[in-house]
Amino acid sequence: MHPFRAAVESGDHEAVVALLHPDCRFLSPAVHRPYEGKDAVAFLLKNVIEVFEDFEYLDELEGDGSHGLVFKARVGDKDLMGWDYLKTGEDGLITEFTVMIRPLSGLQALVAEMGARVGM
């Protein structure tokens, strides 16, 4: 199990943040430009974890310097599935975090909730 998955599943936000590289980039399915830097990414992840209901990782895939985590969750009455694609440096810290979400109605529900929190 990837340490990020373990931290999320245990609800340990400090451990999640500790896994982020200082120059981490977060690529969102909802906005054009990536969020840059550990503080910005940590803030987004904290809010997403609070917005998602019934969050569960279903599968994970590992490559050389990359890791994929498939998840399901709910936002309000919308079910969604997603993919966290993590790229890591030699130190094991996450340098890039890309999220993909389906279906569109699930993404729209997430954007509405996150927009109210962080101004997406």
Domain ranges of the chain: 3-115
Nearest to 28 by CA among 43, 16, 18: 43
Fold of 3-115: Nuclear Transport Factor 2; Chain: A, (3.10.450)
What's the rounded Cα separation, in Å, for the pair 10 and 29?
A: 25
How far from 6 is each of 65, 79, 113, CA to CA, in Å?
18, 23, 25
Amino acid at 69: L
Q: What is the pLDDT along the chain (120 residues), one digit of tens a residue?
A: 899 999 999 999 999 999 999 999 999 888 889 999 999 999 999 989 899 999 999 999 999 999 999 999 999 999 999 999 999 999 999 999 999 999 999 999 999 888 888 765
Hey, what's the torsion of the CAs at 30, 65, 13, 1, to 10 degrees?
110
**Quick one: tokens of 101?**
């979400």
Q: Looking at residue 114, what is its pLDDT?
A: 86
Judge if pTM exceeds 0.85.
yes
